[in-house]
Amino acid sequence: MSKPSLPSRAKLVIGIFTADKSLADPILKELTDRFGPVDMMSPWFSFHHTGYYEPEMGGPLYRRMFAFAGLIAQDDLPEIKLATNKIEAAFAENDSRKVNIDPGYLVMERFILATGKNFTHRVYLAWGIYADLTLIYTKGDFQSLPWTYPDYAEPEMHDFLKAVRKKYSACLKDPLLCSAVQS
Report yes or no: 27 and 16 within 8 Å, Cβ to Cβ: yes
Mean predicted lDDT score pLDDT of the chain = 94
Cα separation values, 8 from 32, 72, 79, 105, 109, Å: 22, 9, 18, 11, 11
| Burial status of residue 63 (CB atoms within 10 A of its CB: 0-12, 13-18, 19 or more) | buried
pLDDT in tens, 72-130: 999 999 999 999 999 999 999 998 999 999 999 999 999 999 999 999 999 999 999 99
Q: Are strands 99-107 and 110-115 parallel, antiparallel or unpaired?
A: antiparallel
| pTM, rounded to two decimals | 0.94
Cα separation values, 158 from 20, 34, 39, 92, Å: 24, 26, 17, 30
